[in-house]
Amino acid sequence: MADDVDLAQPVAPEGLSALDRMPMRNDDGDIRPEFVEAISHAVQVADTAFLKEIVGELHEADLGDLIEALDADERISLIELTGADFDFSALNEVDDTVREELLEDLPPETVAEGVRELDSDDAVELLQGVDEEVQDEILEKLPLSERVALERSLTYPENSAGRRMQTEFIAMPPDWNVGQAIDYMRETPDLPDRFYEIYSVDADQRWQGAVSLDALLRARRPVPLADLIDEDRRRVSVLDDQEEVARMFGKYNLVAAPVVDTDDRLVGVITIDDVVDVIEEEADEDLKALGGVTSDEELSDNFWTIAKGRFTWLLINLATAFIASSVLGLFEDQLQQMVALAVLAPIVASQGGNAATQTMTVAVRALATRQLNPNNAMRIVIREGLVGLINGLAFALITGIAAFAWFKTPGLGIVIGLAMICNLIAGALGGILIPMVLERVRADPAVASGTFVTTVTDVVGFFAFLGIATLWFGLK
C-alpha cells in the first residue's frame, strides 16, 4: 500500500468535483487502479467526507463496478461509512454472489433504510436473491405499507412480470379532464421518478386505458381524459413470463406497459430499463447454457462452487463420449488392419460436430425468439439439410484429395468423402431437429442440445466412415 502522501487528493481549482480531481476511468473505459487504491485507502482511514463526495457523484452502475473492485471487507465498510449517501440500487449492478454476501453481512436495519429509497422493482430485484431468513429480517424493518407491497411482489413467480414491475404509477378516473390531471401531477410529491404515460382506472382500480404524455400535453385543459384514453393499449399480466414481455416490447416498440392482475386491476408498470435487463439476463443464460455452464455462475464465485456447477455436464459429456467410442470398438479389427482409418476417423466426426453446432446455435436462438415455429419448421429443416449437403459435397472433395495425398490410397479419399457427406447432413439435421424435439417436450434446448448433437455427429461420423471403409476395402 502506498503511503498517505501518495494517496492524498491533488490540489485543484476551487469548484472541481472529486471525480474531476481524480477520474474513475481511463480512456478505454476501465477503472483506474489508482482510483481503487485511493478509495481503499479512504475506507481504511475512515475518510467519510471524501467517500461521501465520491459516492454522491458516481452513477449507480459505476458505483457497482467500484464495489466489485474492492476487497470483500472494504465493500461493507464503504457502505457503512457513507450511510444514507450510498445508493443501494448500485447493488443491483454487481454479481449475484457479491450482492448476496453484502446483504447477508450488512445489518438488516442498514439494508432496510437503503431499500426504502429504491423504486419497488429495484427493491424486489435486490431482495429476491437472498436467503428467505435474511429476506424476512430485512422486511421486518420496513414500515407496514412498504413491507406488504414488497411481500406481494415477491409472491409472484420468479421471472414473471409481477417480479419485474414497478408498483409506483399514476392512475386517474376517466371523468377527470386534462387540467385536473396536470394539476394533480404538479401537486403530488410522490410521483415515480420517470414515467411515460398515465393510466385510467375505475373505482375498483380496474383497467380502463392509457393516456400518453404527449397526447395529454397537446390537449387543452377542459378536454376530458376519456377523449384521450387508448383502450386498446397493450398490457401484460402479472403472471406473464418476463421473456414474453421483453419480446412484446421489441415487437411493438414499447417504452412502458401497464401490468394487471388476474381480475384486470392495475397493479404496476414495466418500463424499458427493466426489459433491457431481462434481455441481457436471458441472453446470458442462453450463452452459458450452450456451453454447459449453470445460469447462476458468476465471475466472483470461488473455484469450488464453479467446479461443482460444471461437474454435472462434464459427467454427461463423458458418458456420451463412451457411447461414441463404443462405435470404434465395433470396428476394432478393421482399425488394426488399416491404421489410416484410425487417423482419419476423428476428422469426420469433428467436422460434423462443428457443422451441427452452427445449426444448433441458430436453431436455439430462433426457438427462443419464436422465429422458428410450426408454421415454418419444415421449410427450415429442409433448408438446413440442403446446407449440410452442399457443405458435405465441398468438404468431401477437400478431405478426399487430402486423404489421397497423405496415404496414397485412392479409395480412401472416396470413403472419407462419402462419410463427410453423410455426417454433415446428419449434423445439420441433428442441429435443428434435436432443439425442436427438446422444445416440444418442455426441456430447455439451450441446456441439453449440445450434448445430444455432439453424440449424434460422433456416432454417425465414426459409423459412416468405418462402415463405408469396411465395405469398400472388404475388411473383416
The residues with which 177 forms a beta bridge, in sequence order, are: 224
pLDDT at 6: 47
Question: What values do phi and psi take at 420, rounded to 5?
Answer: -65, -40
Q: Cell numbers for 313, please give them.
A: 455436464
Q: Encode the chain in three state secondary structure.
A: CCCHHHHCCCCCCCCCCHHHHCCCECCCCCECHHHHHHHHHHHHCCCHHHHHHHHHHCCHHHHHHHHHHCCHHHHHHHHHHHHHHCCHHHHHHCCHHHHHHHHHHCCHHHHHHHHHCCCHHHHHHHHCCCCHHHHHHHHHCCCHHHHHHHHHHHHCCCCEHHHHCECCCCEECCCCEHHHHHHHHHHCCCCCCCCCEEEEECCCCEEEEEEEHHHHHHCCCCCEHHHCCECCCCCEECCCEHHHHHHHHHHHCCCEEEEECCCCEEEEEEEHHHHHHHHHHHHHHHHHHHCCCCCCCCCCCCHHHHHHHHHHHHHHHHHHHHHHHHHHHHCHHHHHHCHHHHHHHHHHHHHHHHHHHHHHHHHHHHHHCCCCCCCCHHHHHHHHHHHHHHHHHHHHHHHHHHHHHHHCCHHHHHHHHHHHHHHHHHHHHHHHHHHHHHHHCCCCHHHHHHHHHHHHHHHHHHHHHHHHHHHHHCCC
Residues with Cβ within 8 Å of residue 315, at least 6 apart in sequence: none
Task: Give the CA distances from residue 308 to residues 101, 178, 303, in Å, rounded to whole numbers and listed in that order.
Answer: 19, 60, 9
Place of cell 467446479: 307
Place of cell 453481512: 105
pLDDT at 14: 55
**Rounded Cα–Cα distance for residues 329 and 306 (Å):** 34
Place of cell 436467503: 131
Please say whether the beta carbons of 230 and 248 come within 8 A: no
Count Cβ atoms within 10 A of the Cβ of residue 66 and give its class: 0-12 exposed, 13-18 middle, 19 or more buried: buried
pLDDT at 371: 86
Written as one letter, the residue type at 157 is: P
pLDDT at 15: 61
**Rounded Cα–Cα distance for residues 121 and 104 (Å):** 20
**Rounded Cα–Cα distance for residues 427 and 353 (Å):** 6
Q: Are strands 256-260 and 236-237 parallel, antiparallel or unpaired?
A: parallel
Per-residue pLDDT of the chain (476 residues; tens, 9 = 90+): 444 434 445 444 556 788 888 899 998 889 999 999 999 999 999 999 999 999 999 999 999 999 999 998 899 999 999 998 999 999 999 988 889 889 989 999 999 999 998 988 899 989 988 888 889 999 999 999 889 989 999 999 988 999 999 988 999 999 999 999 999 999 988 888 888 899 999 989 999 999 999 999 999 999 999 999 988 888 999 999 998 999 999 889 899 999 999 999 999 999 998 899 888 888 777 777 767 777 777 776 777 887 887 788 778 878 878 888 888 888 888 888 888 888 899 999 999 999 998 999 889 888 887 888 888 999 999 999 999 999 999 999 999 999 999 988 889 999 999 999 999 999 999 999 999 999 888 888 877 788 888 889 999 999 999 999 999 988 77
Q: Please, what is the Cα angle at 168 between 162 and 174, to 5 degrees?
A: 100
pLDDT at 398: 95
**Rounded Cα–Cα distance for residues 120 and 113 (Å):** 13
pLDDT tens for residues 155-187?
999 889 999 999 889 999 999 999 999 999 999
pLDDT tens for residues 67-81?
999 998 899 999 999
pLDDT at 39: 94
